[in-house]
């Protein structure tokens, strides 16, 4: 009996591949939202596996805030080439100009909110009816409530009170014109599951996930990379530290952690030992209110 | 390490969210910053300075404000033995459909009973859902034992009462635990107050309950989700059928047939990620290639030649109605059976099933939200299926309203 048993990572992989294939089969114009972070890199790996020996049957879409880590962008271009996928990049910068949006101000002026405009424009431009994203339910309370197939109205909004029942492994992707579906194939994975899978499958990551030296400032206990995107005040002291990133978002809203872990085994050991959650340690945009994520999602965020 | 998916069910204020909070807290799955957030929110709600573990799972603003659970929330924790996926489902009657969502993928259900109340109407309703959806393992957690002086008599009396319900519903694997979610008795740590209880703690049981025996290795069932045809120069003639093994074992050389067409063929290879596998079993997602060039498309079934599933266009089903809009007999719906979708019409409504007693009821009023009904469906093309009793992976489907696109019913093939 025991030989017919999947390890938990294989079981998670099987579920995610099944979801990817449902997307490819049920929608006319799906896309994979690619951020350059480890979760979306894992998605690309799963998509590659799901459709091999064929190509990934949908484009990778990157909403570039202009505040990305250069290492992540370089990695993005290389990965798209490697898997022979179409890469579509749309810039928040352009949206700000064309739509005359107001840039947020302040020390860590983040374009996180503005991304949603570019995303919705891009969905319209290409008539995408499904967007695959790398959100996980363990990340955050509002995400814990979201379905794997999450229907968004024509404004991209999530209505948490009107979610479709999602039964067994049956995914209902039927939508009206103008609506779209956000699909989250790794909903049931945790941060550690993703890391263990990356190790198991030997998936490459951008170098900033591993220990390196960097110029930073320390702000309210968090380490923010010194870059032209943040405002340096006279009282800020730029320090040079050995750090790695636990998540990769914008340089303005992602904090680094002090670390000497320069290989995946050490990174996994550090994550196992940490007493702080992924978003809590690395995202400065979640701290505004308890419902920050719920509000962003209702407005069309991932 | 493997995965156990379970659902928690209970009526209002049975302490369901507190129990989950306790499992996460005592298994050290809550991290320092989450705890700090929790302390802050708890302080807003009460002035006793106690941590309100329920606040951990109520993710939506409306839920926190009203102190109730509206939708299913998924929670995760891992011990050295297992990864656990918890569906925290609402207990209120009006949210039964969300509970069914959570229950459909569960291998185990925890039904909470308030020790002061004993078996109540909602206990029966939740047990009936467990029985309808054939959740293999049932845990009855008798909570708030601290409020009945940790009395063994209270515990035993509830066991006697519940055992009658379980017998009526045909629930087989039922285990009872005396707990206090608020204080942590018998959840992760053994209770100091109930020396009379000799069984395992709840977590110990969750870690040990065998789930691999629930996988069917005999009946070969595979449904095509997507056809892979690279059509590149080097893979010009490649045709692979991508899908998930629903049950049975598939390997090279197996004699199979394709349904509903009834064409026979042989498996040339079983692959994943472009690499050949020696064999595949549930719930693996693989690609199957056949020795013959046959026209096969999404929704077609690849099954063992001698182990035919049902192949019919008149189906006996049980429907759990999940939509605000009542069932409209005579209207057309889509029947989505995993990757196969056919149009269908609900022909006969035979009888409703009382979700409190399981007794048949005459259909004198429309079938509305949260009602369960026995019916006959007529489909536009034949469906390849097994009874839900025999196969939860090939015996279930959903109905979709053609005009609203909503998922309106859970369908269990009889």
List domains and CATH numbers for chain B: 2-214 (3.40.50.300), 221-304 (2.40.30.10), 310-413 (2.40.30.10)
Q: Do A27 and A118 share a domain, yes or no?
A: yes
Asked whether residue A198 is assigned to any structural domain, the reply reads no
- For residue A274, list chain B residues with Cβ-Cβ distance below 8 A: 31
Q: Rank A31-40, A42-51, A277-286, B60-69 by mean pLDDT and report only the highest.
A: A42-51
- For residue A190, list chain B residues with Cβ-Cβ distance below 8 A: 76, 78, 83
Question: How many domains does one find in chain A?
Answer: 2
The nearest CA of chain A is from the CA of B83 a distance in Å of 7
Closest partner residue to A25 (CB to CB) among B225, B396, B406 is B225
Distances (CA, A) of B246 to A77, B217, B221, B260: 38, 9, 5, 17
How far is it, in rounded angstroms, from Cα A283 to Cα A246? 10
Q: Do A51 and A125 share a domain, yes or no?
A: yes
Residues in chain B with pLDDT values less than 70: 11-12, 43-70, 91, 93-94
Distances (CA, A) of B12 to A194, B89, B95, B117: 35, 11, 12, 12
Closest partner residue to B406 (CB to CB) among A141, A164, A190 is A164
Asked whether residue A1 is assigned to any structural domain, the reply reads no
Mutate one of B74, B217, B399 to test the A interface: name it (highest A CB count within 10 A).
Answer: B74
Reply yes or no on whether the pLDDT at A1 is more than 50: no
How far is it, in rounded angstroms, from Cα B352 to Cα B320? 10
Is the Cβ pair B101, A50 closer than 8 Å?
no
- Please compute the mean of the pLDDT values over residues A64-87 and round it to a whole number: 91
Closest partner residue to A275 (CB to CB) among B31, B58, B397 is B31
Vertex B352 angle, CA B346 and B353, to 5°? 130
Q: What is the CATH number of the domain that holds A43?
A: 3.40.50.620
Asked whether residue A237 is assigned to any structural domain, the reply reads yes
Asked whether residue A157 is assigned to any structural domain, the reply reads yes
User: Does A241 contact B at CB distance below 8 Å?
Assistant: no
Closest partner residue to B60 (CB to CB) among A48, A50, A145 is A145
- For residue A187, list chain B residues with Cβ-Cβ distance below 8 A: 74
Residue A100: band (very low, low, confident or very high) from pLDDT cuts 50, 70, 90 = confident
User: Does B188 contact A at CB distance below 8 Å?
Assistant: no
Is the Cβ pair A160, B60 closer than 8 Å?
yes
> What single-letter DSSP state applies at residue B233?
S
Asked whether residue A3 is assigned to any structural domain, the reply reads no
ipTM over 0.95: no
Residue A221: which of A248, A254, A255 has the closest Cα? A255
The pairing of strands A256-258 and A239-245 is antiparallel
Asked whether residue A2 is assigned to any structural domain, the reply reads no
Is the Cβ pair A277, B34 closer than 8 Å?
yes
Q: Which pLDDT score is estimated for A282? A: 72
- For residue B287, list chain A residues with Cβ-Cβ distance below 8 A: 52
Question: Cα A221 vs. chain centroid, distance in angstroms?
Answer: 24
Strand partners, B383: B312
Report the chain B residue with the minimal C-alpha distance to residue A47: B273
Reply yes or no on whether the pLDDT at A30 is more than 60: yes
Report the chain B residue with the minimal C-alpha distance to residue A167: B101
Q: Which pLDDT score is estimated for B314? A: 96
Are the CB atoms for B250 and B288 separated by under 8 Å? yes
Are the CB atoms for A103 and A110 separated by under 8 Å? no
> Which of residues B49 and A8 earns the better pLDDT score?
A8
The nearest CA of chain B is from the CA of A104 a distance in Å of 26
Q: Do A51 and A133 share a domain, yes or no?
A: yes
Domain around A130: 8-193+291-298
The nearest CA of chain A is from the CA of B11 a distance in Å of 20
Reply yes or no on whether the pLDDT at A288 is more than 50: no
The pairing of strands B137-143 and B173-178 is parallel
Report the chain B residue with the minimal C-alpha distance to residue A45: B273
Specify the DSSP element, H or E, that contains B317: strand B310-321
Q: Do A170 and A232 share a domain, yes or no?
A: no
3-state secondary structure chain A: CCCCCCCHHHHHHHHHHHHHHHHHHHCCCEEEECCCCHHHHHHHHHHHHHHCCCCCCCCEEEEECCCCCHHHHHHHHHHHHHCCCCEEEEEHHHHHHHCCCCCCCCCCCCCHHHHHHHHHHHHHHHCCCEEECCCCCCCCCCHHHCCCEEEECCCCCCCHHHCCCCCCCCCCCCCCCCCEEEECCCCCCCHHHHHHHHHHHCCCCCHHHCCEEEEEEEECCEEEECCCCCCCCCCCCCEEEEEEECCCCCCCCECEEECCCCCHHHHHHHHHHCCCCHHHHHECCCCCCCCHHHHHHHCCCC
> Which of residues B318 and A156 earns the better pLDDT score?
B318
Mutate one of B28, B339, B395, B403 to test the A interface: name it (highest A CB count within 10 A).
Answer: B339
Strands of the B2-9 sheet, one edge to the other: B73-78, B82-88, B2-9, B108-114, B137-143, B173-178
Q: Do A135 and A214 share a domain, yes or no?
A: no
Is the Cβ pair B85, A188 closer than 8 Å?
yes
Q: Which pLDDT score is estimated for B141? A: 96
Report the chain B residue with the minimal C-alpha distance to residue A5: B212
Asked whether residue A247 is assigned to any structural domain, the reply reads yes
User: Does A24 contact B at CB distance below 8 Å?
Assistant: yes
- For residue B66, list chain A residues with Cβ-Cβ distance below 8 A: none
Q: Which pLDDT score is estimated for A301? A: 67
Neighbours of B407 (CB within 10 A): 26
Q: Which pLDDT score is estimated for A284? A: 65
Q: Do A185 and A250 share a domain, yes or no?
A: no
List, as ranges, residues 54-113 from A with C-beta within 8 Å of B.
54-55
Asked whether residue A76 is assigned to any structural domain, the reply reads yes
> Which of residues B44 and A157 earns the better pLDDT score?
A157
User: Does B218 contact A at CB distance below 8 Å?
Assistant: no
Reply yes or no on whether the pLDDT at A269 is more than 70: yes
Q: Do A275 and A233 share a domain, yes or no?
A: yes
Residue B67: which of B46, B87, B50, B48 has the closest Cα? B46
Mutate one of A165, A272, A282 to test the B interface: name it (highest B CB count within 10 A).
Answer: A165
Mutate one of A1, A10, A16, A21 to test the B interface: name it (highest B CB count within 10 A).
Answer: A21
Q: Which segments within B180-236 are labelled E, that is strand? A: 221-228
Contacts 24+ apart (CB under 8 A), A159-164: A159/A298, A160/A294, A160/A297, A160/A298, A160/B60, A160/B70, A160/B71, A161/B62, A161/B70, A161/B71, A163/B71, A164/B406, A164/B407
Q: Do A170 and A254 share a domain, yes or no?
A: no
- Please compute the mean of the pLDDT values over residues A231-253 and round it to a whole number: 86
Report the chain B residue with the minimal C-alpha distance to residue A282: B33
Q: Do A14 and A88 share a domain, yes or no?
A: yes
User: Does A141 contact B at CB distance below 8 Å?
Assistant: yes
Q: Do A189 and A209 share a domain, yes or no?
A: no
Residue A18, both tokens: 């099944």
How far is it, in rounded angstroms, from Cα A92 to Cα A79? 22
User: Does A170 contact B at CB distance below 8 Å?
Assistant: yes
């Amino acid at each position: 009996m025991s030989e017919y048993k999947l390890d938990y990572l294989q079981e998670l992989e099987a579920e995610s591949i099944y979801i990817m294939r449902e997307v490819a089969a049920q929608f006319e114009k799906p896309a994979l939202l690619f951020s350059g972070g480890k979760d979306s890199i894992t998605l690309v790996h799963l998509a590659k596996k799901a459709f091999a020996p064929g190509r990934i049957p949908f484009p990778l879409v990157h909403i570039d805030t202009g505040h990305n880590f250069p290492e992540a962008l370089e990695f993005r271009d290389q990965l798209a080439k490697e898997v022979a996928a179409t890469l579509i990049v749309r810039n928040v910068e352009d949206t700000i100009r064309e739509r005359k949006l107001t840039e947020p101000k302040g020390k860590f002026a983040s374009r996180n909110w503005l991304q949603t405009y570019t995303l919705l424009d891009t969905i319209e431009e290409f008539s995408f009816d499904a967007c695959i994203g790398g959100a996980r339910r363990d990340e955050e309370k509002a995400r814990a409530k979201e379905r794997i197939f999450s229907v968004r109205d024509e404004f991209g909004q999530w209505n948490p009170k009107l979610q479709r029942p999602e039964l067994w492994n049956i995914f209902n992707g039927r939508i009206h014109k103008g609506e779209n579906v956000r699909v989250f194939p790794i909903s049931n994975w945790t941060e550690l599951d993703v890391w263990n899978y990356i190790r198991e499958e030997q998936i490459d990551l951008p170098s900033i996930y591993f220990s390196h030296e960097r110029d930073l400032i320390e702000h309210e206990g968090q380490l923010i990379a010194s870059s032209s995107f943040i405002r340096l005040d006279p009282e800020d002291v730029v320090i040079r530290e050995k750090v790695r990133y636990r998540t990769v978002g914008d340089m303005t809203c992602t904090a680094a952690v002090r670390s000497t872990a320069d290989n995946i085994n050490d990174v996994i050991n550090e994550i196992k030992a940490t007493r702080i959650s992924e978003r809590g340690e690395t995202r400065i945009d979640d701290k505004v209110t308890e419902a920050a994520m719920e509000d962003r999602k209702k407005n069309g965020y991932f | 390490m493997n995965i156990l998916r379970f659902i928690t069910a209970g009526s209002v204020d049975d302490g369901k969210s507190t129990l989950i909070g306790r499992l996460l807290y005592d298994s050290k799955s809550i991290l320092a910053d989450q705890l700090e957030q929790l302390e802050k929110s708890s302080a807003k709600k009460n002035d006793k300075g106690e941590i309100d573990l329920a606040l951990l799972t109520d993710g939506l603003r409306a839920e926190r404000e009203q102190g109730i659970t509206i939708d299913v929330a998924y929670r995760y924790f891992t011990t050295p033995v297992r990864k656990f996926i918890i569906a925290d489902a609402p207990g209120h009657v009006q949210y039964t459909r969300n509970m069914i969502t959570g229950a459909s993928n569960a291998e185990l259900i925890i039904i909470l009973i308030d020790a002061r109340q004993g078996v109540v109407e909602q206990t029966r309703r939740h047990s009936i859902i467990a029985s309808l959806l054939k959740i293999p393992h049932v845990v009855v957690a008798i909570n708030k034992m601290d409020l009945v002086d940790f009395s063994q008599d209270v515990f035993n009396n509830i066991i006697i009462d519940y055992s009658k319900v379980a017998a009526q519903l045909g629930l087989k694997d039922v285990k009872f635990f005396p707990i206090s979610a608020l204080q942590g008795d018998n959840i992760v740590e053994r209770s100091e107050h109930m020396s009379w209880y000799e069984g395992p703690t709840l977590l110990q049981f969750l870690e040990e309950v065998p789930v691999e025996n629930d996988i069917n290795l005999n009946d070969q069932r595979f449904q095509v989700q997507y056809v892979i045809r690279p059509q590149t120069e080097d893979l010009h003639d490649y045709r692979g059928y991508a899908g998930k093994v629903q049950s049975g074992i598939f390997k090279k050389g197996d004699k199979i047939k394709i349904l509903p067409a009834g064409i026979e063929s042989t498996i040339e290879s079983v692959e994943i990620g472009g690499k050949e596998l020696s064999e595949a079993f549930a719930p693996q997602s693989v690609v199957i290639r056949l020795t013959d060039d046959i026209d096969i498309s999404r929704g077609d079934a690849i099954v063992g030649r001698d182990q035919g599933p049902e192949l019919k266009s008149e189906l006996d089903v049980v429907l759990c109605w999940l939509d605000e809009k009542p069932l409209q007999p005579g209207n057309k719906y889509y029947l989505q059976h995993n990757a196969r979708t056919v149009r269908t019409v609900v022909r006969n409504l035979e009888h409703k099933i009382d979700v409190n007693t399981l007794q048949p009821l005459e259909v004198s009023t429309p079938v509305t939200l949260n009602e369960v009904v026995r019916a006959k469906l007529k489909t536009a093309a034949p469906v390849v299926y097994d009874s839900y009793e025999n196969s939860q992976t090939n015996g279930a489907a959903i109905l979709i309203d053609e005009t609203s696109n909503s998922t309106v019913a859970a369908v269990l093939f009889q």
